[in-house]
Amino acid sequence: MSAVSPQKLKLSVDGADEVSALLLHPQHAHACFVFAHGAGAGMNHEFMARVATGLGDRGIATLRYQFPYMENASRRPDPPAIAHAAVRAAVAEAGRCCPGLTLIAGGKSFGGRMTSQAQAAAPLAGVHGLAFLGFPLHPAGKPSEVRAKHLGNVDIPMLFVQGTRDKLAEWPLIEPVVRRLGASASLHPVQEADHAFHVLARSGRNDREVMDEIIDTLAAWIVAITA
């Protein structure tokens, strides 16, 4: 476990109230991952904390933050304009707090999608790549590629870490979507994992081993981007 404690921050978001953020900055970090949460759980969720700690142990700083609706304990996600403003505020803060570090942005599910939309609309300042942990390609039970249309406007490297049992990104759909994005996009399959990256007992693995795979994959990709 990392001995570094997260630093509490506040971010000013255009069109919304301030939101909370947590910066975990290990010594000798070489990159910072600006990490947005999913639709149903905030930055303090166990998954978010484990990714932040795991990356910290591997020499990568993280800045995780709340979207305004989560800060206000609402169940209704923010409209895209507000969510995109939160992404930009977090990226700007990471640039201020981590000068000289390579910035990577992305997130879990909804947070990753909002980050990709923001980047597609106008490049995020200083960001060299986007990483998605469970990109939500479509609602559960409604397979579609509509949510991927904007990805063609992203001109920096992208990593998709996807469970092969993810009901929000059916494998026969997400695989060709990423392939069509070209050489700058990478897809890592987490075998037998669902959208929350839980695996069935029959897989022969447990959730801890899956988390190690996710964090190792993400860290190695960030190191390659940094290099």
pLDDT digits (tens), the chain, 227 positions: 445 789 999 999 999 999 999 999 999 999 999 999 999 999 999 999 999 999 999 999 999 999 999 999 999 999 999 999 999 999 999 999 999 999 999 999 999 999 999 999 999 999 999 999 999 999 999 999 999 999 999 999 999 999 999 999 999 999 999 999 999 999 999 999 999 999 988 888 999 999 999 999 999 999 999 98
Chosen CATH of 7-226 out of 3.40.50.970, 1.10.10.410, 3.40.50.150, 3.40.50.1820: 3.40.50.1820
Q: What is the pLDDT of residue 4?
A: 78
Indicate the burial class of 186 (C-beta count within 10 angstroms; 0-12, 13-18, 19 or more): middle
Q: What are phi and psi of 197, to 5 degrees?
A: 65, 30
For residue 208, give both structure tokens.
Answer: 């801890």
Q: What is the pLDDT of residue 3?
A: 59
Distance separating alpha carbons of residues 60 and 131, to the nearest angstrom: 14
Measured at the CA of 26, the angle between CA 24 and CA 30, to 5 degrees, comes to 105
0.85 exceeded by pTM: yes
Distance separating alpha carbons of residues 162 and 175, to the nearest angstrom: 10
84-99 burial, b for 16+ CB within 10 Å, e for fewer? bbbbbbbbbbbbebbe
Q: What is the pLDDT of residue 1?
A: 43
User: What's CA 205's distance to the chain center, in Å?
Assistant: 23
